[in-house]
A and B are shown apart, each in its own frame.
Chain A
Amino acid sequence: MSDEEDDIILSELDDEELVAQMMDDLYDGLKEEIEEGTNILLERGWQPYDVLTKALVAGMTIVGHDFRDGILFVPEVLLAANAMKAGMAILKPLLAETGAPTIGKMVIGTVKGDIHDIGKNLVGMMMEGAGFEVVDIGINNPVENYLGKAAEEKADIIGMSALLTTTMPYMKIVIDEMVAQGIRDDYIVLVGGAPLNEEFGKSIGADAYCRDAAVAVETAKELMARKHNRAHAG
């Protein structure tokens, strides 16, 4: 089926064309192409942080928006996220060497009794892509897992996911425990999952409900900025 005229040699594209091509490839979840593109940009002397933000994150932002708008669905986003992860795997050690800035640290997990991790994984990958450091504690987490890991990692954000109406109330148990221990205001608490909505997020005392991974990233950035401003003002 190969159509010779359609073949593209990534290394023959100029930077601008290559980045545009990488965004398309990310959108289509083409992992090997993303790895190749990432390596080419690095060979051309790009800073790892620029490859991350200008190619990968910019590309995932488009994916996130189309997910939000009901154009792409979970299978496409998982493929895109896997492609991005492959690019990230190349960049991560380099980012650590160059001391690229991280915007904040998040502990994320699915609540007790709930096995669903698709949404959580997507949020984790998108947050990483946006420059956050993400500590994933997996599924089925009791309150002590969230609070223990958040303290240990000195996290800024606690993210909780639930996909069942039988497990979503557990988020309140976690937040109530934070209040009881007097540490509620030490963290930004974000919640998400299909049966939730904004009002639910508010009523259980979360900082925000995020309807999808793209919104989670935007919300986390905004709340981190506010947290910094408060810290500086105080």
Chain B
Amino acid sequence: MTTNALSELLSQRDWLLTDGATGTTLFNMGLVSGDAPELWNVEHPDRIRALYQGPVDAGSDLFLTNSFGGTASRLKLHNAQDRVGELNRAAAELGREIADASGRKVVVAGSMGPTGEIMEPMGPLSYDSAVEMFHEQAEALKDGGADVLWVETISAPDEYKAAARAAELAEMPWCGTMSFDTAGRTMMGFTSADLAKMVETLPNPPLAYGANCGVGASDLLRTVLGFQASGSERPIIAKGNAGIPKYVDGHIHYDGTPDLMADYAVLARDSGATIIGGCCGTTTEHLVRMREALETRPRGETPTLDKITQALGGFSSPSDGTDGEGPARRERKGRRRKG
């Protein structure tokens, strides 16, 4: 693959800092719950510039565009399914503007979140339709000047593959993370080991892969250790939430402190992650402390699970499905009927 802004940075540095939260940051700017954040790309471009400027000023090497819900199936909720091109292009253009004005190399990553629909055969969404929707979004992000596509918060392996195919069609480098929020797996039951294995089988593998969102910082690092255990050389992404959401004074507040996220960032690097950042609840204040910690604290040994829980709190489930220790599927009492 030809070089791009992200692959260049990856070749020069042994860790990169991404941005933090998009949704929770927009709420603090007055976004009303239920409304589409993507509409702000054209209705309130200054607020989106401010959203992007935050991580750039905090020292992030990469930030995501405000286009998480920018597929036709998601925009349909706001009767904006015909504005996929316009809204995603605007998201990337504003990003390009802020990145280019930063005076250093900052990667504009075009965020592509899940379609929100269930893939066949469990649900109505066919692989081809998923590819089509992601491709439409990918082309617009590319037009707007995104350096890479950033597929995130995916649960279903087929949806991840569909996004990979869309990136291929758009001839764009891409990264892809899944959300491991159900007993250490994605809600579809996919484990960290499953994802590590799958990315190597893709015809168009990502520049980097990993985990975002999910439950807390501890769970996310257990997932990273799962990727690392697969032995893959591919860069790993760790973008965890700043703790657990709480409702305080009329808005959502995440309970992870900047100090906790600084510890998380260093532990993520020790666990094998190269691209490190936050997700929901991660503010610029968190990012500043994360940057500082990554710059000043030396690399350590790969942490044990105990060390992770001591530093960041307990896991949401005893097993993440990769250690063979999890609860077993129930045995059939009767015989299976054939034919």
Contacts and interface: CB of A to CB of B under 8 A. Distances in A.
Contacts of B188: 73-75
A91 to B, nearest CB: 21
Contacts of A10: 337
Interface residues of A, number: 56
Nearest to B329: A71
A200 B251 CA distance: 11
Contacts of A113: 33-36, 77-78
Contact of B338 (A3, A165, A170): A3
B296 to A, nearest CB: 31
A139 B115 CA distance: 14
A47 interface: no
A172 interface: yes
Contacts of A203: 246-248
Name which of A8, A69, A194 has the most chain B CB atoms within 10 A of its CB. Answer: A194
Interface majority SS on B: helix, strand, loop or mixed? loop
A132 interface: no
Contacts of A69: 183, 327
Interface string A61-85: 0100010011111111011000000
A104 to B, nearest CB: 27
Interface in A133-180: 139-140, 142, 164-170, 172-173
Query: Taking chain A's interface residues, is the majority helix, strand, or loop, or is none over half, making it mixed?
Result: loop
A222 interface: no
A186 interface: no
Nearest to B189: A73
A76 B122 CA distance: 9
Contact of A73 (B31, B182, B246, B330): B182
A140 B122 CA distance: 21
A170 B34 contact: yes
A170 B36 CA distance: 13
B34 A142 contact: yes
B333 interface: yes
Contacts of A204: 247
Contacts of B326: 70-71
A20 B333 contact: yes
A199 B248 CA distance: 11
B333 A24 contact: yes
Interface residues of B, number: 57
Contacts of B332: 24, 27-28
Contacts of A142: 34
Contacts of A75: 122, 188-189
B332 to A, nearest CB: 5
B133 interface: no
B184 A66 contact: no
B277 interface: no
B246 A200 contact: yes
Interface string A4-17: 00111010000001
Residue of A7, A70, A76, A111 most packed against chain B (CB within 10 A): A70
26 contacts: A7-B337, A21-B333, A21-B334, A27-B330, A70-B183, A70-B317, A70-B327, A73-B187, A74-B188, A74-B189, A75-B189, A76-B189, A78-B118, A111-B34, A113-B77, A115-B73, A165-B21, A165-B245, A166-B23, A166-B26, A168-B245, A168-B252, A170-B33, A170-B34, A194-B181, A197-B245
Interface of B: 21, 23-24, 26-27, 31, 33-37, 73-74, 76-78, 116-118, 122-123, 155, 181-189, 244-248, 250-252, 280-281, 317, 319, 321, 326-330, 332-339
Q: Which 3 A-B pairs have the closest CB atoms?
A: A70-B183, A73-B189, A112-B34
Interface of A: 1-3, 6-8, 10, 17, 20-21, 23-25, 27-28, 30, 33, 62, 66, 69-76, 78-79, 111-116, 118, 139-140, 142, 164-170, 172-173, 194-197, 199-200, 203-204
